[in-house]
Amino acid sequence: MRKANVLVIADPADVEFLDTALSSKQWNIFLKIVDYERLYKSARELSDAVNQNAIDFLAFSRNDQVCNRVTTAPMVAKLRTGYTAFSGIDEAQRIEQMAQCFEDFVKCDKMLRYDGTGASGTGPGNTQGDRTFSLVFDLEQVGGVKYGLPRILALLDQHKVRATFFVTDVINTVYPNCSRLIAQRGHEVGLHGLWHEDLRDVELLEQKKYIGLAKSRMAEDCRGANYLDRTDVNTVKALIANQLDYLVCHSSFYYRHFAYPEPPEPLLIEAEEGAIYCLPISIDAYGFPWLLAKNMVDASLTAAKRQRCVHLTVLCHLFRDAALRNRERTEKLLRYLIVTKGLTPVTLSDSLDNVRRTDSVRRIEAANIFVNRSKSRIRPPRTREDVIGCVPQNFLRLMQILSGRHCIF
């Protein structure tokens, strides 16, 4: 595999703590110093750098959890590149963590260490049956893995929860034992791309190559992939061609005006190449305070009662949910799912096996999966959760619009 071209975007206040003289055997590194408060005013300059140097992915010195909490996702989407970050995840230790993560990223010679026993069985308060949930973790940021992964693995061990981790090849390159460390503790590992690349509008043959390479470089067997918001119909066909069993999709279960929408059920997507299951994310609580995250769980369970099975898939991010300031909230969410709601934790592969046993999944042609994705109609509140969410959800959305930041909390 050729060396990837990386555009490191560092704030002037961060550069003095980075050893920019380090050489890398894995990456061709290009450095761009940009004031993060003016990040989006530098879009043309960054776009020129991406095009001139054939950049594969960006590497940020900050994420939206530290310092001034500038959101980088729109810039990644605008430039249509992959991305990672070597940002620290804990505000008080941000500089030290960032410097160490940058060194790890450049050298790619460190192994992750974790001495826990691993997750198996079910934890206290769990009930066996058809009420289940899956925790999904995306691993694309170096700091989230170096500092957050050991904390999350310890939490999952404590509650005997098996989860699903989607890992980019960048992370497996920086920390070669990452996927194996996760799998050895009873968790599932899936594809998250080579470098969190955007596959939209990429030719089918190229997508097959990208996904095939990511799969071949994964140390562990994997059945599923998470390319959320970075896919088109060719991605579906490429995943099928590479013999993946399922892909993850957004359910868009966000409050709209006065109510939560009806969450979609799993689908079986069919194409000339074969078929693949589409498993929806029920809850993405990124940027939501605890009470709204809790209300989303309750709303999802209320909606699930009207469907054939009760299963929630909860999307998490190590760089946020394992940060010291959010770790208590993450454990509270886990205990709420297991103890209060009596749900049994399963991996997404286990969830898929349960779906297959029902033999009543709606089928859809791949050509139709990305068409007519119009917003749900406005409807009045119908449930207790709709009423509870009305004021805080709309207030939070207003704050996001006014601040220009997705993550307020």
Region 277-292 average pLDDT? 85
Which domains occur in the chain, in start order? Answer: 4-107 (3.40.50), 131-368 (3.20.20.370)
Provide the whole-model pTM. 0.91
| 102 Cβ contact list (under 8 Å, min separation 6) | 18, 19, 61, 86
The region that residue 342 occupies, defined by phi over 0 for left and psi between -120 and 50 for alpha, beta otherwise, is left
C-alpha to C-alpha distance for 34 and 13, rounded to whole angstroms? 10
Question: C-alpha 400: how far from its chain's center?
Answer: 20
Report strand pairing: 283-284 vs 4-10: unpaired
Strand, helix or coil for residue 44:
helix
The answer, yes or no, to whether residue 275 has pLDDT greater than 90, is yes
In 3-state terms the chain splits into helix, strand, coil percentages (rounded to 5) of 40, 20, 40
pLDDT band of 245, cuts 50, 70, 90: very high
Tokens representing 72 are: 């980088």
CA angle 153, 154, 155 (to 5 degrees): 90
Tokens representing 214 are: 């990511």
pLDDT tens-place string over residues 86-124: 999 999 999 999 999 999 999 999 999 998 766 654 444
C-alpha to C-alpha distance for 249 and 263, rounded to whole angstroms? 12
C-alpha to C-alpha distance for 266 and 248, rounded to whole angstroms? 10
pLDDT band of 84, cuts 50, 70, 90: very high
Q: What is the DSSP string of 201-217?
A: T--HHHHHHHHHHHHHT
Residue 291 dihedral angles phi and psi, to the nearest 5°:
-65, -35
Report strand pairing: 274-281 vs 267-271: antiparallel
**Contact predicate 333/314, CB 8 Å:** yes
Region 221-235 average pLDDT? 93
**Contact predicate 284/320, CB 8 Å:** no
pLDDT attached to residue 258? 78
pLDDT tens-place string over residues 190-217: 999 999 999 999 999 999 999 999 999 9
C-alpha to C-alpha distance for 367 and 369, rounded to whole angstroms? 6
pLDDT tens-place string over residues 316-331: 999 999 999 999 999 9
